[in-house]
Amino acid sequence: MKGCRIKKGGVFLLMLAVLVISRSLFLDSDIPLPAVTEYCAIDEMYYNHAAFNLYHYGEYAHRVVPYVNDVGVNNNILENLLTFFTLATWGNTYYGLRMASVAASALIFAMLWYVLAGGRKKRETMPSQPEHGETVGGDAALAAAAGEEPGTASRCPRSRLPLSLWMLMLIGYLLVDFPFLVAGRVAEPTIFRILALAVLLCLLAAAERRGRLGSPCTSFFLGLLSLGCVLFVYLYNAFVFAAAAASVVAWHWRKGGRVVLRHLAFLPPEPAWPFLAMRLSCLWF
């Protein structure tokens, strides 16, 4: 029984250590040419202007001249807060500036592992033996698709090892993906936009494990977190609204149109729209 299980915890910690070390080495080096990374080094200061304000002056928006707005303060709030903490830890150095991106990539890695491991655990604990002579059609079909015999959940099924390997391959790809590598070593918003979406997916996975997807409160918090991805992370994350609405429809469409509309009424919550309007006015006016 033990021989057919992969020690996922140890493998995860090893891969996480490789990710952090590979992103941290030579972090104070110059950014490659824009033709390679499609990123300009001067943008690092612009996107983290508020973090340096907090570090040097103790305030998020510091106006040198009272009638001139501070530049960059309306950018990624999540990024600036995390960068402020790394500046306070490593000082006013490139490590202080860029370690926030390293930490964000490590958090994304861990959250994706949590989401995939939860799906695998659910697959392995699904009942496959019918009770009192009843037929479990969905479980039997799933077992047949995985190359198993129905009713073998108590034994070590053949699909466990491939499923573990697939999960490790999906996670391990992040270690060698060049865009993810660059985003995890440069102080720019991309990695923090991914982090916000990873937090959203992680919370939804936790709700799904606890059987809370059908609750209106879950739809409300999904809308609230979706707004947070736009208001406090990046304006172009607005596509999350459509993804959240599609998710709500997918969860509840079998229950009827009234149930779907009731859950969509919480997504996004109407009281938060004035804050979105204020955010847009700060960005564009």
The reply to whether 223 and 89 lie within a common domain is: no
Residue 169 has pLDDT above 70, yes or no: yes
- Of 17-26, 76-85, 95-104, 216-225, the poorest mean pLDDT is in 216-225
The reply to whether 158 and 242 lie within a common domain is: no
The reply to whether 116 and 233 lie within a common domain is: no
The reply to whether 141 and 237 lie within a common domain is: no
The reply to whether 67 and 186 lie within a common domain is: yes
Residue with tokens 């500046």: 87
192: pLDDT confidence band, cut at 50, 70 and 90? Answer: very high
Q: What is the pTM of this model?
A: 0.75
- All residues at 6 or more sequence positions from 113 whose CB lies less than 8 Å from its CB, including other chains: 12, 171
* Most confident among 107-116, 242-251, 254-263 (mean pLDDT): 107-116
Q: Which domain holds residue 239?
A: 214-285
Count of domains for the chain: 2
The reply to whether 204 and 73 lie within a common domain is: yes
146: pLDDT confidence band, cut at 50, 70 and 90? Answer: very low
CA diameter of the chain: 80
Residue 147 has pLDDT above 60, yes or no: no
